[in-house]
């Protein structure tokens, strides 16, 4: 069975500082990997996705993520955080043989200090 772990429940960074949110997955083969962001009272928005190929993927809003098969990780990074980045971030895995069932991590809440 597939699973996703986001080890950090809550992260606080200062505006302008760099950010890394961790995501570890468990799956028997190469999974489809996603990062979503959810602002308060909103739905989820896709930041980026990895299917295959280049292990460093670029997303919207200046985010990037790196797939590391040896570490079963797909960490999200941003070089300089903006106050508007404060939100809930979810890592998700979509199995190639489990149609329609994405598995979400528990999420990481990002707080940005001025």
Partner 1 sequence: DTEVTQTPKHLVMGMTNKKSLKCEQHMGHRAMYWYKQKAKKPPELMFVYSYEKLSINESVPSRFSPECPNSSLLNLHLHALQPEDSALYLCASSHGTGGQGELFFGEGSRLTVL
Residues that bind partner 1 (CB under 8 A): 31-32, 34, 36, 41-46, 49, 51, 88, 90, 93-102, 104-107, 109
CA dist 94 and 99 (Å) reads 8
The smaller minimum CB distance to partner 1, of residues 27 and 112, is found at: 27
Provide the minimum distance between the beta carbon of 93 and partner 1 in the complex, in angstroms, as a whole number. 8
Whose structure tokens read 């979810």?
A: 90
Cβ-based nearer residue to partner 1, 34 or 67: 34
* Nearer of residues 14 and 30 to partner 1, judged by Cβ: 30
**Closest CB to partner 1 among 41 and 114?**
41
Cα dist. 110→51, 75, 87, 97 in Å?
A: 26, 14, 5, 32
- Minimum CB separation from partner 1 for residue 37, in Å? 11
Residue 88 C-beta: closest distance to partner 1, Å: 8
CB atoms within 10 A of CB 88: 17
Residue 18 Cβ, how far from partner 1 at the closest point, in Å? 25
Residue 69 burial (C-beta neighbours within 10 Å; 0-12, 13-18, 19+): exposed
- Cβ contacts of residue 62 below 8 Å, gap of 6+? 78, 79, 80
């Amino acid at each position: 069975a597939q699973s996703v772990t986001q080890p950090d429940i809550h992260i606080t960074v200062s505006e302008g500082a760099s950010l890394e949110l961790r995501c570890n997955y468990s799956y028997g083969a190469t999974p489809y990997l996603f990062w979503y962001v959810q602002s308060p009272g909103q739905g989820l928005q896709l930041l980026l996705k990895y299917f295959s190929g280049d292990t460093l993927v670029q997303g919207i809003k200046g985010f990037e993520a790196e797939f590391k098969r040896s570490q079963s990780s797909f960490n999200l990074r941003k070089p300089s955080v903006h106050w508007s980045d404060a939100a809930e971030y979810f890592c998700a895995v979509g199995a190639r043989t489990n149609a329609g069932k994405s598995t979400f991590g528990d999420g990481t809440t990002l707080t940005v200090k001025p």
